[in-house]
Amino acid sequence: MVVNTIHWFRKGLRLHDNAALRDSIRGSDSLRCIYILDPWFAGSSNVGINRWRFLLQCLEDLDASLRKLNSRLFVIRGQPTDVFPRLFKEWQINRLSYEHDSEPFGKERDAAIQKLASEAGVSSWIIELNGGQPPLTYKRFQALINHMEAVELPAETITAEVIKTCVTPISDDHDDKYGVPSLEELGFETEGLTTAVWPGGETEALMRLERHLERKAWVANFERPRMNANSLLASPTGLSPYLRFGCLSCRLFYFKLTDLYKKVKKNSTPPLSLYGQLLWREFFYTTATNNPCFDKMDGNPVCVQIPWDRNPEALAKWARAGQLRQEGWIHHLARHAVACFLTRGDLWISWEEGMKVFEELLLDADWSVNAGSWMWLSCSSFFQQFFHCYCPVGFGRRTDPNGDYIRRYLPILRAYPAKYIYDPWNAPEDIQKAAKCIIGLHYPKPMVNHAEASRINIERMKQIYQQLSCYRGLGLLATVPVNPNNGTNGSSQVPVGSVEDTSVQDVPPRAERTQSTQKRRHEDALNEGSSKSWRQSK
């Protein structure tokens, strides 16, 4: 029987360590690698131009690599549920492969496609990981990882040897029908667009990986680099967007890092902290996979219900961020600072709003990691101390005393002396005039008085967390609950009394304390191991 295969690229935009692709080639007579592009997405969705450009560059790169193997990438415009029945028929497809997407939206979409496929007599080849309940704290997650079986080696890269006799029928009009579109074709205005600081694609990703590892080994033997002004600028060895789009395989990164560490440190076991970046991704993916409400506060069992303020004006001002908008990336400590400022630190605006801005502008923001990080940074998750509040002025001063970062991304303030560059509104009038930037005229006055705002907000946070019984008492610090449903109240009628100390409290009739009707989740019911299963359905 002739086997005609489609491999559907979504996230794993690479030919190295692509187990689904490699395995589906075996025994195939023909192979077509496709990417489905929803044209409506470009105009209407919350995805900015930098992300689109990155994606298109990834697709170009894939196409170029496939060309070297006498194949091509087929970019199909439309929606998967419309596209697939047509392709199955036209190309006589009987095998469909793709890499499992664990995010809730992805799982839903794939379930629909699988159904379509089986109705058309097409077998689906998917690799997936089985897991139980997700761990709710990063520390617990780390503890679990320590007990898990070793990570599997990356799958071999797709080369001519792997492809062997499998062919890709390419028509003369391939470029017209299935070529990678340009930004203009998708309706973007490209005039004035600066060169990409982060060029997309697997080739670039692999090159950066090598440079990243070189730098790591060279810089003080894997010690944590100290934060300085340069850290805030985009690094030529940064990898996060490539991990997100799948141009770089996490597994490959993991193994290369491990090998290098062992070489430099003479075979000692690498600590978990070495893989921090990878582990955080995994952690958020794991937590989010069964929770379609993960990116919202309402109806999200792992999110604290905080009475955020609705303030579109302040939000618009906050979103003006320079580097983020221009380049699509900011250093993760800068992210912490801006996220804190928007939410619990100063503006008291919902983390969902900040998440949407990052989703639009950030190259490496994917659904799980973005939502999870925002919840974390706004102290909406159950595993975070909320006292730690970034002071925007102080943070800048400590990290970059000369203000180079500000001068670069906010050129209007360029002429301010270092003393006032972080709080130009406090500069005397003559300094403002000399810098040719009057606050209130050329540059807006600060949105909030930080001292006042942080005072109010820490109080608000404390009030909310006091509903969780472990935070009763005078202190700001408390044992963070492991079980998010411990002592949470729904819409209860809690008396005021002394919320600081129950002994002074006027204890109202016991009856008024309502019980939580939320389900209890048990972390210990977690699967201790994680097994990989090779699923094939007919």
Partner 1 sequence: MVLCYVYVNVPFNFRMKRMKRIDENSNDSTSVNPPEPFKRIRPEDSEGPHAHCVSDDYPVCDWARLPQELLLHIFQYLPLLDRAYASQVCRGWNQAFHMPELWRCFEFELNQPASSYLKATHPDLIKQIIKRHSNHLQYVSFKVDSSTESAEAACDILSQLVNCSLKTLGLISTARPSFMEVPKSHFISALTVVFVNSKSLSSLKIDDTPVDDPSLKVLVANNSDTLKLLKMSSCPHVSPAGILCVADQCHGLRELALNYHLLSDELLLALSSEKHVHLEHLRIDVVSENPGQHFHTIKKSSWDAMVRHSPKFNLVMYFFLYEEEFSPFFNEEIPVTHLYFGRSVSKEVLGRVGLHCPRLVELVVCANGLRPLDEELIRIAKHCTQLSAIGLGECEVSCSAFVEFVKMCGRRLSQLSIMEEVLIPDHKYSLDEIHWEVSKHLGRVWFPDMMPTW
Binding residue positions: 277-284, 364-366
Q: Are 24 and 4 in contact (CB under 8 A)?
A: no
Q: 1, 150, 165, 310: which one contacts partner 1 (CB under 8 A)?
A: 310
Site mask, partner 1, residues 145-174, x = CB under 8 A?
------------------------------
Interacting span for partner 1 (CB under 8 A) from 77-85, 333-341, 439-447, 524-532: 333-341
Q: 43, 132, 187, 276: which one contacts partner 1 (CB under 8 A)?
A: 276
Q: 130, 230, 483, 498: which one contacts partner 1 (CB under 8 A)?
A: 498
Q: Are 36 and 78 in contact (CB under 8 A)?
A: yes
CB closer to partner 1, 2 vs 496 = 496
Task: Please give the Cα distance from 518 to 65 (Å, whole number).
Answer: 51
Tokens coding 31: 């192979």
CB closer to partner 1, 195 vs 517 = 517
Task: Please give the Cα distance from 250 to 276 (Å, whole number).
Answer: 12
Q: 97, 249, 454, 488: which one contacts partner 1 (CB under 8 A)?
A: 454
HEC assignment per residue over 420-459:
CCCCHHHCCHHHHHHCCCCECCCECCCCCCHHHHHHHHHH
Q: Is 500 in the site for partner 1 (CB under 8 A)?
A: yes
Q: 184, 475, 534, 535: which one contacts partner 1 (CB under 8 A)?
A: 475
Tokens coding 508: 């109202």
Q: What is the CA radius of gyration of the chain?
A: 26
Q: 460, 467, 469, 485: which one contacts partner 1 (CB under 8 A)?
A: 460
Site mask, partner 1, residues 82-111, x = CB under 8 A?
------------------------------
What angle separates helix 351-361 from helix 332-340, to the nearest 10 degrees? 140
DSSP 3-state assignment of 96?
strand
Shortest distance in whole angstroms from residue 281 CB to partner 1: 9
Beta bridge partners of 203: none
Site size for partner 1 (CB under 8 A) = 84
Q: How many CB atoms lie within 10 A of CB 161?
A: 8
CB closer to partner 1, 359 vs 364 = 364
DSSP 199: -
Shortest distance in whole angstroms from residue 514 CB to partner 1: 5
Q: Is 284 in the site for partner 1 (CB under 8 A)?
A: yes
Q: Which of residues 235-254 bind partner 1 (CB under 8 A)?
A: 240
Q: Is 230 in the site for partner 1 (CB under 8 A)?
A: no
Q: Is 463 in the site for partner 1 (CB under 8 A)?
A: yes
CB closer to partner 1, 273 vs 402 = 273
Interacting span for partner 1 (CB under 8 A) from 29-37, 187-195, 436-444, 452-460: 452-460
Shortest distance in whole angstroms from residue 19 CB to partner 1: 26
Q: 311, 326, 466, 530: which one contacts partner 1 (CB under 8 A)?
A: 311
Shortest distance in whole angstroms from residue 46 CB to partner 1: 19
Q: Is 227 in the site for partner 1 (CB under 8 A)?
A: yes
Task: Please give the Cα distance from 218 to 223 (Å, whole number).
Answer: 10
Task: Please give the Cα distance from 149 to 473 (Å, whole number).
Answer: 42
- Count of alpha carbons within 13 Å of 376, Cβ hemisphere only? 17
Known binding-site residues for FAD equal 277-284, 364-366
Instruction: State CA 222 to chain mean position distance.
Output: 24
Task: Please give the Cα distance from 208 to 214 (Å, whole number).
Answer: 10
Question: Helix, strand, coil proportions of the chain in percent (round to 5)?
Answer: 45, 10, 45
Interacting span for partner 1 (CB under 8 A) from 87-95, 153-161, 191-199, 444-452: 444-452
For residue 258, which phi and psi values (nearest 5 degrees)? -60, -45
